[in-house]
């Protein structure tokens, strides 16, 4: 198999999606390895997870920099220095400038806990419940300068149950996120999919009409 893609993961907190990527990358046939984990917040759980897995970590605290550009210059230097080829936002809570986004264009993924383009932004699950939606989900997409925008790599649908609280719904969606992100990163890192225009092409076809994951998780349906 060809060399694994070197992945940088940007986090700001808990790092459960980072953990899902760490676990997936342990598999010998996984096409990506995590070269560096960067947090913009010190002492977060995600950093402990990375250290526990023996991964290189760096804190680049945005509060230490006078401008977004200065923060991003250090971020970029750390990523480039670690030979990072693909970047994954995993609960990374900073807005990025157009220039940073352009320099990682089509090499940069984000996960958002809704079926984009619905419910972009913060407080997603509260707004899903307020809207009375019966199906929600999560999306992995290539990053663009506009928040929660960009070509969609993969989505998973998750039911909203009657009487759901925000926490209950968030927990159900998070379980799907932990399957979806490794799946999407595999598709991108292996070169099975790529961006053409503003769309991701090369998707494996979903088997059956009721696939929950699109594209499907191998062997699930």
Query: Cis peptide leading into 37, omega within 30 of 0?
Result: no
Q: Is the dihedral of CA 190, 30, 90, 77 positive or negative?
A: negative
- Integer CA distances (angstroms), 189 to 11, 34, 55, 134, in order: 19, 12, 19, 33
Of the candidate spans 21-29, 32-40, 72-80, 106-114, the one that interacts with ligand GRF by CB under 6 A turns out to be 106-114
Residues 161-200 that bind ligand GRF (CB under 6 A): 174, 177
Residue 174 C-beta: closest distance to ligand GRF, Å: 6
* DSSP type of residue 78: H
Residue 187 C-beta: closest distance to ligand GRF, Å: 18
Residues 201-220 that bind ligand GRF (CB under 6 A): none
Contact between 91 and ligand GRF (CB under 6 A)?
A: yes
- Integer CA distances (angstroms), 218 to 50, 142, 206, 214, in order: 27, 21, 10, 11
* C-beta of 84 vs 169, nearer to ligand GRF: 169
Size of the site for ligand GRF (CB under 6 A): 13
Q: How far is 177 from 139, CA to CA, in rounded Å?
A: 8
Of the candidate spans 68-76, 108-116, 151-159, 160-168, the one that interacts with ligand GRF by CB under 6 A turns out to be 108-116
Of residues 5, 10, 17, 183, which one binds ligand GRF by CB under 6 A?
A: 17
Alpha helices (runs of H) in the chain, residue ranges in sequence order: 16-25, 45-52, 68-81, 98-103, 124-131, 166-189
* C-beta of 14 vs 94, nearer to ligand GRF: 14
Of the candidate spans 49-57, 67-75, 110-118, 206-214, the one that interacts with ligand GRF by CB under 6 A turns out to be 110-118
> Which residues of this protein are in contact with ligand GRF, per CB under 6 A?
13-17, 46, 90-91, 111-113, 174, 177
């Amino acid at each position: 198999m060809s060399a694994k893609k070197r992945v940088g993961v940007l986090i700001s907190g808990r790092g459960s999606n980072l953990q899902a990527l760490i676990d997936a990358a342990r598999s010998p046939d996984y096409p990506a390895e995590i070269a560096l984990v960067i947090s913009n917040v010190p002492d977060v759980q995600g950093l402990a997870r990375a250290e526990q897995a023996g991964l290189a970590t760096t804190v680049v605290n945005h509060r230490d920099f006078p401008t977004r550009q200065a923060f991003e210059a250090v971020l970029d230097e750390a990523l480039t220095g670690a030979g990072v080829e693909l970047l994954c936002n995993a609960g990374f809570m900073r807005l990025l400038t157009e220039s940073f986004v352009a320099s990682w264009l089509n090499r940069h993924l984000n996960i958002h806990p809704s079926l984009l383009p619905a419910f972009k932004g913060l407080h997603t699950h509260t707004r899903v419940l307020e809207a009375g939606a019966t199906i929600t989900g999560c999306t992995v997409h290539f990053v663009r300068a506009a928040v929660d925008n960009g070509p969609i790599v993969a989505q998973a649908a998750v039911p909203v149950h009657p009487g759901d609280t925000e926490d209950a719904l968030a927990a159900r969606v998070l379980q799907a996120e932990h399957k979806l992100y490794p799946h999407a990163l595999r598709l991108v890192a292996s070169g099975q999919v790529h961006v053409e225009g503003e769309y991701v092409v090369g998707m494996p076809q979903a088997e059956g009409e009721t696939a929950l994951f699109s594209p499907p998780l191998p062997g699930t349906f």
